Amino acid sequence: MNVLAERTEQCPYCGESIDLLIDPSGMQQNYIEDCQVCCQPIIIDVTVTHEGEISLFLLQENE
């Protein structure tokens, strides 16, 4: 059973804090999720190292 990791990041559109649930079982992930505040589409790029460290990059859809 995989445990999801919760992260709080800033929306690249409105700058508000948003909560994200990350599945650390995949080494490289890329998906789109709408901001919980301004509803803009955010590209979320996730990298998980072999040690389990999570790196997140949030981009506007048009970047």
Give the pLDDT score at 1: 54
Question: Rounded distance, CA 54 to CA 48, Å?
Answer: 5
- The pLDDT tens digits of the residues spanning 20-59 come to 999 888 789 999 999 999 999 999 999 999 888 999 999 9
Give the largest CA-CA distance in the chain.
Answer: 35
Strands 41-48 and 28-34, by their bridges, are antiparallel
Give the pLDDT score at 52: 85
Question: Rounded distance, CA 52 to CA 60, Å?
Answer: 26
- pLDDT for 8 beyond 90: yes
Give the pLDDT score at 42: 97
Q: How confident is the model at residue 5 (pLDDT cuts 50, 70, 90)?
A: very high
